[in-house]
Amino acid sequence: MNIPSAYIHIPFCQQICHYCDFTKFFYNERLADEYLEALEKEIHTYIPDEKARVRTIFVGGGTPTAVNHQQLEKLLRMIDDHFDIASCEEYTFEANPGDLDMEKVWLLRDFGVDRISLGVQVFDDEMLEKIGRVHKVKDVYTNIDRLLQAGLSNISIDLMYALPGQTVEDFEKTIDEAMQFGLPHYSSYSLQIEPKTVFYQRYMKGKLTKAKEDDEAEMYELLQRKLTAAGAVQYEISNFAKPGFESKHNLTYWNNEHYYGIGAGAHGYLPGKRTINIRPLPAYVKKAEEDGKPLLHEEPIGIKEEMEEEMFLGLRKTQGVSTERFYQKYGKTLVDVFGNRLTQLKERSLIDEEAGHIRLTSKGRILGNEVFQEFLLDD
């Protein structure tokens, strides 16, 4: 089975952020040891013999670097044992500023990790505290310096906007400070208030107010304008990169390609099905220890769903959906499948076509969810 990418989830955090709805648990050394044992059993189920050749590996969380040095080395060695790192084009670890001492940085580099995604969010200590982050702005500088010392220069940082109490001017300062590093990749997301988060509880009690839509739109436009002026190319709705430094792993998702989803709560996409793993940590560990298959649910994916998702995901890219690639994958043209819908969306100036690609217009990006719904096919 030729699967181009692998996502591996490490659910531990030193602190739970107020906005986060990913599978996460407070770090506990014993639980982390048990989890890594279970994780290896799951990986072995997918890859029992020869090392798997994958194009990308992404280790996310939680915070993968929240584990101790011995556990981090065990995790890295486990991945090295099951995947052909030498043939991997991009090997990413997520990290929080403040987690990376030099010993961890050298471990990552020595085991072949070549890309780091830092969860910075804002360059404002007061705001960081308000959203439940434990790092300080100075930690960002320290960790980036350590990474560069070790030759790990392919660094991406995540930024957030439309946070409670955040002004357009506040976000502009964050963008300006982030740009001073001259990094090859930046991601930025507006706050989404998700169930089962601290912010959701506060919002439901009337103790938290969402940002105004006009302010959120202004922050997004500011982000686009400043990063583009600095030479970064917006290749996806929320992602900007210097040419050649686009996230190859995330492009796996947006190109609707297959990937392993490994770890508690992880989602995978394998030929003909999507997989969702058990989320609660004790239940995940128990099931993985039993048979190496800690699945909660498998959803069959037929040609109809594949074509729908090709549009939902592909339209997130600035380049859009390739008409030629669509035909090669499905044996049908976009017009065959979505003819009238394409015409109507073009008439409303929500999509256009250029160089063999269907893509969102500026107006279409603002109304993205409305556009995506138009590509839901009748049974």
Query: Which part of the chain is CATH 1.10.10.920?
Result: 304-373
Q: 262 is written with which tokens? A: 């490994």
Q: Which residues pair with 158 in a beta bridge?
A: 119, 187
What CATH number is given for 5-254 in this structure? 3.20.20.70
Q: What is the pLDDT of residue 119?
A: 95
C-alpha span between 29 and 271 (Å, rounded): 36
Q: How confident is the model at residue 15 (pLDDT cuts 50, 70, 90)?
A: confident
**DSSP character at residue 83:** B
What CATH number is given for 304-373 in this structure? 1.10.10.920
With 0.85 as the threshold, say if the pTM is over it: yes
Residues 36-67: pLDDT tens digits? 999 999 999 999 989 999 999 999 998 999 99
Q: 362 is written with which tokens? A: 């500026």
Q: 209 is written with which tokens? A: 């107010």
Residues 288-321: pLDDT tens digits? 999 999 999 999 999 999 999 999 999 999 999 9
Query: Which part of the chain is CATH 3.20.20.70?
Result: 5-254
C-alpha span between 102 and 72 (Å, rounded): 13
Residues 100-109: pLDDT tens digits? 999 999 999 9
- Identify the three-state secondary structure at position 252: helix
Q: How confident is the model at residue 207 (pLDDT cuts 50, 70, 90)?
A: confident
Residues 233-273: pLDDT tens digits? 999 999 999 999 999 999 999 999 999 999 999 999 999 99
